[in-house]
């Protein structure tokens, strides 16, 4: 989700799962996850599935 609570637009590509199932790295296809990100370079995010 972006800083405004909306889903990534469009959906992320290249999702994966770490060997222990705890982390999901992904590359968002859109540009709405980081405010002001206009550098035209792909961003990689990692989400923890454990809370």
CA–centroid distance for 6 within its chain: 12
pLDDT at 18: 94
Please say if the pLDDT value at position 34 is more than 90: no
Across the chain, mean pLDDT equals 80
The predicted-structure confidence for 10-30, as pLDDT tens digits, reads as follows 777 777 899 999 999 888 777
Please say if the pLDDT value at position 1 is more than 80: no
């Amino acid at each position: 989700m972006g800083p405004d609570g909306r889903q990534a637009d469009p959906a992320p590509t290249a999702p994966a799962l770490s060997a222990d199932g705890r982390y999901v790295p992904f590359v968002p296809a859109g540009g709405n996850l980081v405010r002001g990100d206009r550098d035209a370079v792909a961003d990689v995010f990692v989400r923890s599935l454990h809370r």
